[in-house]
Amino acid sequence: MDYVTIKDVAKRLNLAVSTISRAFNDKYDIKKETKELILKTATEMGYHPNPMAKKLTQKRSFNIGIVVPEFINGFFPEVIIGAQEILFEKGYQVLITQSNESYESEIKNVKTLVDNMVDGLIISLSSESKNTDYYQTLIDKGFPIVFFNRVNSKLKSSKILFNDYKWALFATEHLITQGYKNIVHLEGLESLTLSKERKRGFIDAHKKYKIELTSNHFIKSGFTIESGKATAELMIKNNQIPNAIFASCDPPAIGAMMVFKENGYKIPTDIAFVGFTESKLAGLINPPLTSVMQPTHDIGVEAAKMLLDQIENPHAYLPQTIILNGTLNIRESSVKII
């Protein structure tokens, strides 16, 4: 591929390259007519400013790195699409890496992105319990970073969060007001704040309605369907069947629901279900699963906006936190009387 350069345009019009440059970056003094002439013949010749040269002189890569734990499930892709929309519009390129839920590969990804001189990073941590020194060093250097979804409270940085506590409380409250009193919470990974927050919401909903909770009401579960299945099988084996299950996210709820159904339990009559972070499956399975829907697209949009704000105003930078709201999508899995 042979590209047309600024010199070619200059030669053609018998102008200096600086004039051509001025025509494309309208902040300098240039006569209106010549500018129009330049732009016209430039497009005729098929000239596009070489992004590499531009980046070199401007000492900016116009690249933004996004690091997520995975992007097989729908959640992160949706966030990424949201971020890309506004980043692309502003002329930024987006480099996406996935850490595969591994701290090591996450740090490695971040380092390569920084070495490749991205202008900023949007990150959802694979684990919040690990060492965050590297991130802190970057932040202290003034490197623009926005965290979302999975963050570390110690890091003094901009964050886009979801009000996990509030919506877990709402979701639990929904179950309680539906008449379910003996509710078990399937907890998420302990290393994540969002798990703790959802648990806290679950607990406070019970406090509000003055319902006692024992340790039997909490079962540690993962993020997978399999873990939900295993939990349900154990419950059935021990014959400890609660009225309802509130899961820290959809997959374990779905897994547990599948097992209970297979064992002849009626849903939601015998046992009700509420999930979290609305997955594609929620509305599709039978019965459809009540779940808290997060504003995935908006999370991406807000993260991108915040990052650009930080990049463009490097001096007046103050770490901000935006907390977004969601929706409780109430479906058959948790509604006692239809």
> Does 71 contact its own copies by CB under 8 A?
yes
Which of 314, 299, 326, 322 has the alpha carbon at shortest distance from 86?
Answer: 299
Contact 265, 271 (CB under 8 A): yes
Per partner kind, with CB cut-offs from 5 to 8 A, the member of DNA, its own copies, none near residue 281 is its own copies
Amino acid letter, 66 = I
> Does 58 contact DNA by CB under 7 A?
yes
- Is the N-terminal amide bond of 314 cis, ω within 30° of 0? no
Contact 324, 163 (CB under 8 A): yes
Please count the CA atoms within 13 angstroms of the CA of 216 that sit on its side-chain side: 10
Closest distance between DNA and the C-beta of residue 94, in Å?
Answer: 21
Per partner kind, with CB cut-offs from 5 to 8 A, the member of its own copies, DNA, none near residue 263 is none
Pick between residue 259 and residue 274 the one whose CB is nearest to its own copies: 259
Binding to its own copies in span 203-242, by CB under 8 A:
225
End-to-end CA distance of the chain: 65
Residues 6+ apart with CB under 8 A from 37: 13
> Does 134 contact its own copies by CB under 8 A?
no
5: left (phi over 0), alpha (psi -120 to 50) or beta: beta
Contact 277, 250 (CB under 8 A): yes
The number of residues in the chain equals 338
Closest distance between DNA and the C-beta of residue 147, in Å?
Answer: 29
Which of 247, 272, 267, 274 has the alpha carbon at shortest distance from 179?
Answer: 272
80 to 109: interface string for its own copies, x by CB under 8 A: -x--x---x----xxxxxx-----------
> Does 5 contact DNA by CB under 7 A?
yes
Per partner kind, with CB cut-offs from 5 to 8 A, the member of DNA, its own copies, none near residue 258 is its own copies
Q: Which residues pair with 116 in a beta bridge?
A: none
> Does 22 contact DNA by CB under 7 A?
yes
> Does 28 contact DNA by CB under 7 A?
yes
Taking each helix axis from N to C terminus, what angle separates 6-13 and 32-45, rounded to the nearest 10 degrees? 120
> Does 59 contact DNA by CB under 7 A?
yes
Pick between residue 193 and residue 279 the one whose CB is nearest to its own copies: 279
Out of 14, 26, 52, 153, the residue judged to bind its own copies by CB under 8 A: 52
Out of 29, 72, 210, 315, the residue judged to bind its own copies by CB under 8 A: 72
> Does 263 contact its own copies by CB under 8 A?
no
Residue at token pair 């940085």? 157
> Does 24 contact DNA by CB under 7 A?
yes
CA angle in degrees (0–180, nearest 5) for 134-154-64: 50
278 to 307: interface string for its own copies, x by CB under 8 A: --xx--xxx---------------------
> Does 25 contact its own copies by CB under 8 A?
no
Q: 53 vs 5, 41, 57, 94, 285, CA distance in Å?
A: 11, 21, 6, 19, 53
- Write out the residues near DNA by the rule CB under 7 A: 3, 5-7, 14-22, 24-25, 27-32, 34-35, 47-50, 53-54, 56-59
- Write out the residues near its own copies by the rule CB under 8 A: 1, 3, 48, 50-53, 55-56, 61, 63, 71-74, 77-78, 81, 84, 88, 93-98, 112, 115-117, 141-143, 225, 254, 258, 261-262, 280-281, 284-286
